[in-house]
Amino acid sequence: MIIAPKIRGFICTTAHPEGCAKHVAEQIAVVKSRGLIENGPKRVLVIGSSTGYGLSSRIAAAFGANAATIGVAFERPGEADRPATAGWYNTRAFEQEAAAAGLYARSFNGDAFSDAVKKEVIDAVKADLGQVDLVIYSLASPRRTDPKTGEVYKSVLKPVGESYTNKNLNTTTGVVNEITIEPAEGDDICQTIAVMGGEDWELWTDALLEAGVLAEGCQTVAYSYIGPSMTWPIYKNGTIGKAKEDLERVQRLLDEKLAPLHGKAWVSVNKALVTQASSAIPVVPLYISLLYKVMKDEGTHEDTIEQMDRLLRDRLYKGNPQPDEAGRIRVDDWEMKPQVQDIVAERWAQVDTENFQQLGDFAGYQSSFLRLFGFGLAGVDYSADTDTAVGIPSLDK
């Protein structure tokens, strides 16, 4: 099949196997060019390992520290006439690269919120690795089925208290218009916390602890975002921000639970970047376009791989995590520098459809988005016939 991007609003419904493999290879090259992470993790579990921050975490651990990795994700395989999701092809490519480098890699494709997947993964840790010394929690999902009650929770991206009006970008056309989002109602906040808060991270940690598969000194990290005040009504102070507050509540709890192992739980606040999850958030893509331009001009732009490499290399495994006043790791530090934010805020006030191409990095936004699905990568022949129904080696065994 010849595969082209098919964009529907903020998602792309196709993905390219060779393009995704190239994207993975490019991330591996970034990590390898920085050399070995000294005293890095050796056995790593990544929950949400197939795209975005989770995939980059897995790559940074494997190719930066030669770690054995187990990844968990929920992706759709391809068929002869229908491409798989990008995360499927990324996982296949990751495993092939890991095998070529002599690194252990095993992947699970299923609902990480379920008891069954937790059990399967823990059995694999026991059988293959004995224990893990780093657990990355990087799920982003619109819904979660409660493993005990079967209730399906749905997360929403809404402000809390009052409606929110701000500038917004149509990421297909480049038109900057205004959007008004009505506030959360009913149990929107509780539902969003149930999906994107800390409950499942705690369930995972409890299950791993109970099985005795967390090593002495084990660290676990979940990801959060804060950002600048113009996005707070929809992010930090919105329904998703309430879920992230809950993540911090659970981080403190997990710190206590891990204390007997001399372990540590962290929330890492990461930079705003184009991922499948972030492109669904209103207002944020316009902010990201302005941010990319400023940070690229300044020479400080990073993508998920540079962020996760820095998290492991400079913070978690250097004895120098530099927590903020709330105990969070801040790899959003370069994004949040006043000299960056002042320019973004100034441009935010001015930006409209006419001047957006000058003030923002629309080309960068669009190319980052397409790359998530394996499109626009150098050296890939997009006119060639491609096998869409390829497997993930460890799932085929």
The answer to whether the beta carbons of residues 317 and 38 sit under 8 Å apart is yes
Shortest Cβ 158–ligand NAD spacing (Å): 16
Decide: is 45 part of the binding site for ligand NAD (CB under 6 A).
Answer: no
Total residues at interface with ligand NAD (CB under 6 A): 29
Give the residue, chosen from 14, 27, 107, 138, that forms a contact with ligand NAD under the rule CB under 6 A. Answer: 138
CA distance 10 to 30: 27
Residues 231-270 that bind ligand NAD (CB under 6 A): 270
Rule CB under 6 A: choose which of 276, 341, 366, 368 binds ligand NAD.
276
- Measured distance CA(294)–CA(100) in Å, rounded: 38
> CA-to-CA distance for 104 and 45, rounded, in angstroms?
12
Of 395, 381, 270, 380, the closest CA to residue 26 belongs to: 380
Per annotation, catalytic residue among 235, 287, 292, 365: 235
Tokens, residue 91:
């996982």
Q: How far apart are CA 239 and CA 153, in angstroms?
A: 13
Nearer to ligand NAD, 51 or 171 (CB): 51
- Least Å distance, CB 342 to ligand NAD, is 21
Contact between 14 and 373 under an 8 Å Cβ cutoff? The reply is: yes
Residue 140 touching ligand NAD (CB under 6 A):
yes
Measured from the CB atom, the residue of 108 and 215 that comes closer to ligand NAD is 108
Separation between Cα atoms, residue 372 and residue 87, nearest integer Å: 9
Asked whether 83 and 124 are in contact (CB, 8 A), the reply is no
- 272, 308, 316, 377: residue in contact with ligand NAD (rule CB under 6 A): 272
Decide: is 189 part of the binding site for ligand NAD (CB under 6 A). no
Give Cα separations from 62 to 29, 38, 389 (angstroms): 12, 13, 26
- Single residue of 224, 251, 341, 368 touching ligand NAD by CB under 6 A: 224
Q: Binding residue for ligand NAD (CB under 6 A) from 41, 78, 87, 263?
A: 87
Determine whether 235 is an active site residue.
yes
Query: Which position's Cβ is nearest ligand NAD?
Result: 52
Closest by Cα among 141, 132, 158 to 194: 141
376 binds ligand NAD (CB under 6 A): no
Q: Does 72 bind ligand NAD (CB under 6 A)?
A: yes
Per DSSP, the three-state class of 190 is helix
* Part of the chain binding ligand NAD (CB under 6 A), chosen from 51-59, 120-128, 152-160, 355-363: 51-59
Task: Tell me how far apart the alpha carbons of residues 71 and 303 are, in angstroms, rounded to a whole number.
Answer: 20
CA-CA-CA-CA torsion sign (147, 153, 157, 159): negative
Nearest residue (CB) to ligand NAD, 215 versus 289 = 289
**Residue range at the interface with ligand NAD (CB under 6 A); choices 132-140, 292-300, 353-361, 362-370:** 132-140
Which SS3 state, helix, strand or coil, does residue 185 take?
coil
Applying CB under 6 A, the residues found at the interface with ligand NAD are 48-54, 72-75, 87, 111-113, 138-141, 223-225, 270, 272-273, 275-278
Kindly list the catalytic residues: 235
